[in-house]
């Protein structure tokens, strides 16, 4: 939530993710919620934990710079995180947060 709140507060033009899979997944989620400032955390989280709402808005440019090999987070439309209230790992799965989406602006270097 800190990263999501940061993007909502400072309204960046783009998001830069430098790190491993967790960093990139966090940046993808922050980018999504930046485009939906009115959204609740669980709005886009996969069911049955969340609502799994569709993504219909264009996201900001997101530049991913992976520093580890193996997670592949920079290539997927998935953002995984620990949802502490349920002590569960869950996530958001949507093409819109992937660099392979026609409307995506995720770039990997």
Query: pLDDT digit of tens for each residue in the chain (109 aa)?
Result: 788 889 889 999 988 889 999 999 999 999 999 999 999 999 999 999 999 999 999 998 888 888 888 778 888 899 999 999 999 999 999 989 875 444 445 555 5
pTM: 0.85
- Of the CA atoms within 13 Å of residue 101, those in its CB half-sphere come to 24
Look at residue 74 in the predicted model and tell me its pLDDT.
83
Spatial distance between the Cα atoms of 5 and 3, rounded to a whole number of angstroms: 5
Gap between the Cα atoms of 68 and 37, Å rounded = 31
* Nearest-angstrom CA–CA distance, 21 and 63: 13
Tokens linked to 92? 């958001």
d(CA 109, CA 91) in angstroms, rounded, equals 24
């Amino acid at each position: 939530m800190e990263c999501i709140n940061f993007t909502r507060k400072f309204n960046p033009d783009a998001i830069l993710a430098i790190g491993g899979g967790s960093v990139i997944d966090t940046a993808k989620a922050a980018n999504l919620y930046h485009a939906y400032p009115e959204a609740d955390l669980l709005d886009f989280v996969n069911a049955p934990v969340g609502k799994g709402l569709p993504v219909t808005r264009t996201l900001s440019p997101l530049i991913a710079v992976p520093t580890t090999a193996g997670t592949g987070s920079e290539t997927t439309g998935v953002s995984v995180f620990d949802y502490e209230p349920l002590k569960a790992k869950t996530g958001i799965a949507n093409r819109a947060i992937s660099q392979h989406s026609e409307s995506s602006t995720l770039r990997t270097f």
